[in-house]
């Protein structure tokens, strides 16, 4: 066992309490993590480091002796990344271990300058490596979260919903760029074929701005749907967007546009020969009767 | 010589494209359609392209041409059953086929033709109310 291992194992409790004190002064985030949990983590990590130091050399960090410490640290950093700690908070968790260990080494080896320096050096190399692991794991976890969110956003952004037999709605949320137009177009056309729908309502209430490029993408989608034999209606045109469209000189004259999704739906029902009829007055608000939709004979 | 069959269905012509179109076949089809319309006095042309999976700008232009020629001869053209991939390709090629009417399948295409026949001839056809 190296000198470093001996010193740590002899002064484990002391180092840990000093470490806790140090963290409480600098980086402890009581809003994100309870004190008990932090104690638990620091105890486990210190044990794992001790195991690593005593079973193999500190510079042989990728060896099997250190696997427990590595895993411990990866778990801790990953959970911190998810909990919303900052990268420096996460790294300081390990780095704040330096001061208590250094002062212990200094006390234990005060008579021997050379040995003290060597031990401090191997200790600082070790802790730097541990800190690098936390940083790497932190970033990897964050990246994982980001890519998962991107995926979810992409899936969320293109729902095609069936409003009625032969009438589809496509609510678009967010800006339409080329990549999304492609996804939206494919999704819409596949659904048109699958459900045999004659009408598709493209709702742009959730599109923040309509410039010439977005309009061009919209027109592409509508033209493709028309080529397949489905008629498109644009709904959810806000007043500002109507003004922008006219100011930019975008030609939407061949496309039916409506202000509200309800208007577009009513038009689609009308065009497919249906009409909405109220069968009786609604008895009360809680048990509202859905108006029956009948096909005109 | 290989050619695409043109079927006569009452006042309409039914063309089902089931093979990959090449340019010669397309030219031949143009000749045949115009000839048949004038022979039989057809009022409408229905082109079913549901088995067509590959299009290029030439085929797109041919469809537009057939529609334009038929209109000159007094017949409506409806293209039915276009595949999503084909529709996307045509749009990307910048061909929106402005003069061509479209429908989802042969059935609704026929309905469309009957309706236009009913209005243009002023006859109250029973299917036009559907």
Answer whether A100's CB lies under 8 Å from A18's CB: yes
pLDDT at site A192: 92
pLDDT at site A51: 83
> Are A227 and B104 inside 8 Å of each other by CB?
no
Query: Which of B97, B105, B108 minimises the CB distance to A227?
Result: B97
Is the minimum CB–CB distance between A224 and chain B shorter than 8 Å?
Answer: yes
> Are B102 and A198 inside 8 Å of each other by CB?
no
Is the minimum CB–CB distance between B82 and chain A shorter than 8 Å?
Answer: yes
| Cα–Cα distance measured from residue A50 to residue A121, given in angstroms and rounded to the nearest whole number | 17
Mean pLDDT for chain B overall:
85
pLDDT tens across B36-46, in order? 999 999 999 99
Q: Are residues A125 and A165 in the same domain?
A: no
pLDDT at site A276: 86
Q: What is the mean pLDDT of residues A106-111?
A: 85
Answer whether A256's CB lies under 8 Å from A226's CB: no
Strand arrangement of the beta sheet that strand B12-16 belongs to: B6-9, B12-16, B44-48, B76-80, B101-103
pLDDT at site B127: 45
pLDDT at site B129: 43
**Is residue A156 assigned to a domain?**
no
- Comparing alpha-carbon positions, the chain A residue that sits nearest to B126 is A297
| Cα–Cα distance measured from residue A75 to residue A92, given in angstroms and rounded to the nearest whole number | 16
- The answer, yes or no, to whether residue A54 has pLDDT greater than 60, is yes
Specify the number of domains making up chain A.
2
pLDDT at site B123: 45
CATH number at residue A208: 3.30.750.24
Domain region containing A268:
161-280+290-295
> Are B91 and A190 inside 8 Å of each other by CB?
no
> Are A223 and B82 inside 8 Å of each other by CB?
no
Q: Are residues A261 and A126 in the same domain?
A: no
Q: Are residues A128 and A246 in the same domain?
A: no
Total length of chain B: 130
pLDDT tens across A234-270, in order? 999 888 888 888 888 888 888 899 999 999 999 999 9
CATH number at residue B112: 3.30.750.24
Distance from CA of residue B103 to its chain's centroid? Answer: 10
pLDDT at site A179: 77
Query: Which of B92, B96, B102 minimises the CB distance to A228?
Result: B102
CATH number at residue A61: 1.10.490.130
- The answer, yes or no, to whether residue A77 has pLDDT greater than 80, is yes
Q: Is residue B100 helix, strand or coil?
A: coil
Q: What is the DSSP letter of B97?
A: -
Q: Which of A237, A152, A239, A165 is nearest to A196 (CA)?
A: A165
Is the minimum CB–CB distance between B105 and chain A shorter than 8 Å?
Answer: yes
Angle at B69 between CA B24 and CA B28, to 5 degrees: 15
> Are B105 and A229 inside 8 Å of each other by CB?
yes
Question: Sorting pLDDT into bands at 50, 70 and 90, what band is A97?
Answer: confident
Is the minimum CB–CB distance between B50 and chain A shorter than 8 Å?
Answer: no
Q: How far is A279 from chain B (nearest CA, A)?
A: 23
Answer whether A203's CB lies under 8 Å from A221's CB: no
Answer whether A201's CB lies under 8 Å from A167's CB: yes
Is the minimum CB–CB distance between B90 and chain A shorter than 8 Å?
Answer: yes
Residues on chain A touching B115 (C-beta within 8 angstroms) = none
- Comparing alpha-carbon positions, the chain B residue that sits nearest to A195 is B104
Residues on chain A touching B87 (C-beta within 8 angstroms) = 189, 224-225, 227-228
- Comparing alpha-carbon positions, the chain A residue that sits nearest to B103 is A229
> Are B104 and A186 inside 8 Å of each other by CB?
no
Pick among A165, A188, A224, A271 to test the B interface (most B CBs inside 10 A): A224
- Burial annotation B38-56 (CB, 10 A radius, 16+ → b, else e): eeeebbbbbbbbbebeebe
Largest CA distance in chain B: 43
pLDDT tens across A131-184, in order? 888 899 999 998 999 999 888 877 666 788 999 999 999 998 887 777 778 888
Q: Are residues A10 and A143 in the same domain?
A: yes
**Is residue B1 assigned to a domain?**
no
So what's the ipTM on this one? Answer: 0.75
**Is residue B15 assigned to a domain?**
yes
**Is residue A50 assigned to a domain?**
yes
Residues on chain B touching A273 (C-beta within 8 angstroms) = 130
Mean pLDDT for chain A overall:
84
Specify the number of domains making up chain B.
1
pLDDT tens across B13-42, in order? 999 998 888 888 888 999 999 999 999 999
Domain region containing B69:
6-129
Helices A35-55, A3-10: axis angle to 10 degrees equals: 150
Q: How far is A69 from chain B (nearest CA, A)?
A: 54
Q: Are residues A47 and A182 in the same domain?
A: no
| Cα–Cα distance measured from residue A167 to residue A281, given in angstroms and rounded to the nearest whole number | 27
């Amino acid at each position: 066992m190296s000198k470093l291992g001996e010193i740590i194992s002899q002064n484990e409790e002391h180092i840990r309490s000093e470490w806790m004190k140090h963290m409480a002064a600098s980086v402890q985030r009581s809003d994100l993590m309870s004190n008990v949990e932090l104690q638990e983590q620091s105890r486990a990590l210190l044990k794992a480091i001790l195991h690593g130091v005593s079973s193999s050399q500190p510079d042989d960090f990728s060896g099997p002796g250190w696997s427990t410490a590595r895993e411990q640290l990866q778990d801790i950093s990953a959970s911190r990344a998810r909990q919303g700690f900052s990268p420096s908070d996460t790294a300081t968790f390990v780095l704040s271990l330096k001061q208590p260990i250094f002062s212990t080494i200094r006390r234990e080896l005060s008579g021997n300058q050379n040995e003290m320096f060597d031990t401090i050096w191997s200790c600082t190399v070790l802790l730097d490596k541990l800190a690098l692991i936390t940083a790497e794991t932190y970033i990897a976890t964050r990246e994982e979260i980001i890519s998962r969110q991107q995926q979810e956003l992409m899936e969320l952004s293109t729902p095609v919903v069936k409003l009625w037999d032969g009438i589809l709605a496509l609510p678009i949320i967010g800006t339409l760029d080329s990549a999304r137009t492609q996804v939206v177009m494919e999704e819409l056309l596949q659904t048109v074929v699958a459900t045999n729908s004659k009408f598709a309502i493209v709702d742009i209430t959730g599109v923040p701005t309509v410039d010439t490029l977005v309009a061009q993408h919209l027109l592409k989608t509508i033209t493709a749907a028309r080529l397949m034999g489905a008629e498109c209606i644009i709904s959810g045109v806000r007043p500002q967007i109507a003004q922008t469209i006219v100011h930019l000189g975008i030609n939407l004259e061949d496309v039916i546009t409506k202000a509200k999704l309800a208007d577009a739906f009513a038009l689609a029902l009308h065009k497919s020969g249906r009409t909405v009829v109220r069968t009786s007055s609604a008895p009360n608000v809680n048990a509202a009767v859905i108006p029956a939709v009948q096909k005109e004979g | 010589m290989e050619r695409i069959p043109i079927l006569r269905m009452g006042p309409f012509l039914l063309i089902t494209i089931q093979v990959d179109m090449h340019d010669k076949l397309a030219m031949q089809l143009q000749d045949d359609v115009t000839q048949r319309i004038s022979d039989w006095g057809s009022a409408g042309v229905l082109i079913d392209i549901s088995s067509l999976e590959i299009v290029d700008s030439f085929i797109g232009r041919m469809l537009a041409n057939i529609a334009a020629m038929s209109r000159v001869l007094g017949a409506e053209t409806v293209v039915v059953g276009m595949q999503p991939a084909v529709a996307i390709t045509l749009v990307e090629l910048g061909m929106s086929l402005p003069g061509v009417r479209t429908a989802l399948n042969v059935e609704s295409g026929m309905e469309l033709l009957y309706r236009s026949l009913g209005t243009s001839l002023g006859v109250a056809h029973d299917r036009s109310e559907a």
